[in-house]
Amino acid sequence: LIRGPGPDGSCGRGRGMVDRSVVDAVEFLDPQPRRQRWRSLSYCVLDAVWSIGSVYDTVVAPLVWRVAAANGDSAPVVSLAEHLLPDPLPLAVLLAKYCDATSLQEVTNRQRTSPRGGIPKTEAALGYARILADHEVSGLRHAEQLLVEETRWSLVDGALATVPGDGADGVRRGYLWMLVGNDEVIKPDRMVLRWLARQGMQVDAARAREVIREIAQELTQRLTRPVTPWMADHAIWQAERSRQSRRN
């Protein structure tokens, strides 16, 4: 299923790019730019940590909304078109209010990063928060600035990798940076891997990142408009979620 560019520069036979049929399938899903985001870095951290191995609509999103409400924020999601206001729950405030994993569990849940010896997700989330705060990344504005400072970003990303539960492919960290605003970094979770498998592509998360990046590049040329890896990933995720809902 791996093919290279044909005479017209699109996917043909060879090596280096994804089979045309897979690109066609993603094009059919009509990838669109993101329109909303969390308005706090704390919410991004919670989302990134709890999304691994959890059902997003029934567990992760309600959990983040619960934490926001407990801290006086009734509108934790904002449109990307809106001006980014000061972070309503900076990491320093989150860490001051929830000084340990037990206190954070009271408003979240007792899930662990892995059913086999994983640490509590509350502990992982606070670990992320402490590392980011220690590197003077306390709010979304700081995180956005970090993304354009490659050397400093690599240092912070490496520190986050020490928190248990990320896996060898760094899916959780990649998802955090995606939530912060990096559309080039994606989190190919089980939904995305399942969709790719049904297209005949049995790949792991690391290879899935490459595949989706290639799909985005091909669609950008084909549609003559920007298609980012996030857009392709999210379109696939939504399609697979809808399919699972219909089956259920």
Q: Supply the pLDDT for residue 4.
A: 35
Q: Supply the pLDDT for residue 168.
A: 66
pLDDT at 57 over 50: yes
List alpha helices for 79-204, DSSP H.
91-97, 101-105, 121-134, 140-147, 150-160, 171-180, 190-198
* Band (89; pLDDT cuts 50, 70, 90): very high
DSSP one-letter code for 85: P
Q: In this structure, are residues 99 and 91 in contact, taking their beta carbons and an 8 Å threshold?
A: no
C-alpha of 60 from chain center: 12
* Band (5; pLDDT cuts 50, 70, 90): very low
Q: Greater confidence, 52 or 59?
A: 59
Rg (CA), the chain: 19
Q: For the range 223-227, what are the long-range contacts, defined as Cβ-Cβ under 8 Å and sequence gap of 24 or more?
A: 223/27, 226/33, 227/31
Q: Over the stretch 205-241, which tens digit does the pLDDT of each residue have?
A: 888 889 999 999 999 999 999 999 989 998 998 899 8
Q: For residue 34, give every residue at least 6 positions away whose Cβ sits within 8 Å of its Cβ, in sequence order, or none.
A: 80, 183, 230, 231, 234
How much is the mean pLDDT over the chain? 87
Q: Greater confidence, 77 or 178?
A: 77
Q: Supply the pLDDT for residue 205.
A: 82
- Which range in 2-11, 121-130, 162-171 is most confidently predicted, on average pLDDT? 121-130
Model's pTM, two decimal places? 0.74
